């Protein structure tokens, strides 16, 4: 089946630093999404990407849909303590098909 490789698994950074995480896939996806999950909560959608090569920003977050459609990255600039959480990438083939999730990147921000 389809799998997503997400890295790094965890990160410890100083407040104010920039963060980068990425996902790669063995197969093509038509949509890439990035979610953030806080402990005991459901994932919250951060950014959705629909076109190969697309670069989209949401505040301090920037994500890109790789031109091969097999990868995506998420950058967080000037990290703050509330950025702490688990970030998941997800790929979707089309329409209402299930998401394929990466294993998550656990981000810790040291004030």
CB of 16 to another protein, least distance (A): 27
Residue in 3, 63, 69 with CA at minimum distance from that of residue 33:
63
Answer for which of 12, 14, 59, 95 binds another protein (CB under 8 A) is: 95
C-beta of 72: minimal distance to another protein in Å?
Answer: 14
Cβ closest to another protein, residue 15 vs residue 50: 50
Does residue 111 contact residue 16 with C-beta atoms inside 8 Å?
Answer: no
Q: Is 110 in the site for another protein (CB under 8 A)?
A: no
The CA distance from 35 to 26, in Å, is: 20
Q: Which lies closer to another protein via its Cβ, residue 5 or residue 17?
A: 5
Dihedral (C-alpha) 13, 107, 54, 57: value to the nearest 10 degrees? -70
Bridge partner list, 25 = 4
Q: Which of 48, 52, 62, 75 binds another protein (CB under 8 A)?
A: 48
Q: Evaluate whether 10 touches 106 at the Cβ level (below 8 Å).
A: yes
45 or 67: whose CB is closer to another protein? 45
User: What are 37's two structure tokens?
Assistant: 């999950």
Q: Which residues bind another protein (CB under 8 A)?
A: 31, 33, 35, 40-45, 48, 50, 88, 92, 95-96, 98-99, 101-104
């Amino acid at each position: 089946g389809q799998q997503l490789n997400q890295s790094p698994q965890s990160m410890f950074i100083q407040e104010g630093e920039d963060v980068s995480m990425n996902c790669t896939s063995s197969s093509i996806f038509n949509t890439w999404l990035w979610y953030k999950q806080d402990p005991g909560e459901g994932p919250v959608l951060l950014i959705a990407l629909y076109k190969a090569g697309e670069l989209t920003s949401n505040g301090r977050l920037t994500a890109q849909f790789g031109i091969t459609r097999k990868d995506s990255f998420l950058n967080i600039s000037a990290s703050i303590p509330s950025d702490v959480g688990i970030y998941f990438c997800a790929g979707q083939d089309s329409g209402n098909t299930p998401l394929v999730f990466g294993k998550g990147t656990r981000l810790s921000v040291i004030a």
